[in-house]
Amino acid sequence: MEQKEHDGAGPAGAAVITTGTDRPVAVPTPAVRVPTVGEVLGAVEELWPESLAEGWDAVGLVAGRTANGAGKILFTVDPTAAVLDEALDWGATMIVSHHPLLLKPVSSVAASGFKGDAIHRLIEAGCALVTVHTNGDSAVGGVSDVLADALGLQHVQPLVRAADGLPEEGIGRVGDLAEPVPLGTFAETVFSILPAVAGGVRVAGDKDAPVRRIAVCGGAGDSLFDSVRSSHADVYVTADLRHHPASELREAAADGPPYLIDVSHFGSEWLWLTPAADALAHVLSDRGFTTDIRVSGVNTDPWDFVLTPGH
């Protein structure tokens, strides 16, 4: 029996075709299923298990009812006021933030403070907020994995393996370039993959020194210096390097490796947002859900400009 398109209206949620006798027949089409906040949390747990979060961290659902719908999801590094403006103007029903809004305990969420105001805005708009922080760092495909992939590292392993996870899960990553390159050339590659921010990229080491074994940690990583040394990395790429730890590491290295590349905290974690959004979209799609997921266009790096010698 021949089927062809028919211009007539059919029942809602049904496609209309005609048979050879031109009698319209309604054929049901699959209903669009928007996930609830709770169903999205199930997908988040599959990708970035809370068990991988560090003990000091605060991850998971921050605001929102699990029974509410979550058809529009925005990914961001930080849940700033500008990000909330963007999300709520778009009509987002969930924000997935890498950094926690409420990392430290609070005694009030009065709207007179910026954190309390954020909570009130989220609740009033019916928008959930979820934090994926160190569990997003540690998991396969997490922040440091994305950074290692962007730099073309091979044979990648965690710098510090997760206590309760797979062998490839943990904080930081270390791997090898296909061929050695000068430190200055490698630093230019690092600069090229990151978003433009005021602070740029700082390097400690001889720009002509060859480097091949690379350690990385998205976000603040100077607590991992012992693991960097143990990994025999030639250079360590991370953010928020403090003066004294960095100075002591370089003094102990006697001008040799490990060299240091200090990048924007925001920039090192921003790279993860698009792969993370894609991963969540695939898991939800596989479960039969339809969602609109996008990455925030707001640069949440806190620095606006920098002065350098000669400028």
CB distance 94 to 150 below 8 Å: no
Contacts of residue 265, Cβ cutoff 8 Å, sequence gap at least 6: 219, 220, 239, 240, 301
In this predicted structure, what is the pLDDT of residue 12? 44
Domain 143-265 has CATH 3.40.1390.30: yes
Rg (alpha carbons) of the chain, rounded to whole number:
24
pLDDT tens string 240-296: 999 999 999 999 999 999 999 999 999 999 999 999 999 999 999 999 999 999 999
Collect contacts of 249-254 with beta carbons under 8 A, ≥24 apart: 249/225, 250/204, 250/205
**What is the SS3 assignment for 161?**
strand
In angstroms, the CA 178 to CA 175 distance is 10
Integer CA distances (angstroms), 139 to 56, 97, 187, 277, in order: 17, 16, 26, 14
pLDDT at 77: 98
List, for the chain, all residue ranges whose pLDDT scores fall below the cut of 50.
1-17, 19
Chosen CATH of 37-135+272-295 out of 1.10.1660.10, 1.10.275.10, 3.40.1390.30, 3.90.25.10: 3.40.1390.30
Q: 37-135+272-295 and 143-265 share one CATH topology?
A: yes
3-state SS, residue 284: helix
User: Which DSSP string do the residues of 34-95 spell out, in sequence order?
Assistant: PPBHHHHHHHHHHHS-GGGS-TT---EEEE--TTSB--EEEEESS--HHHHHHHHHHT-SEE
Q: Are the C-beta atoms of residues 171 and 300 closer than 8 Å to each other?
A: no
3-class DSSP assignment, residue 5: strand
What's the pLDDT score for residue 111?
93
Instruction: Indicate the domain borders of the chain.
Output: 1-31, 37-135+272-295, 143-265
Whole-number pLDDT of residue 308: 84
pLDDT at 107: 87
CA 151 to chain centre: 17
Tell me if residue 28 falls in helix, strand or coil.
Answer: strand
pLDDT tens digit sequence for 118-144: 999 999 999 999 999 999 999 999 999
Contact between 203 and 259 (Cβ < 8 Å):
yes
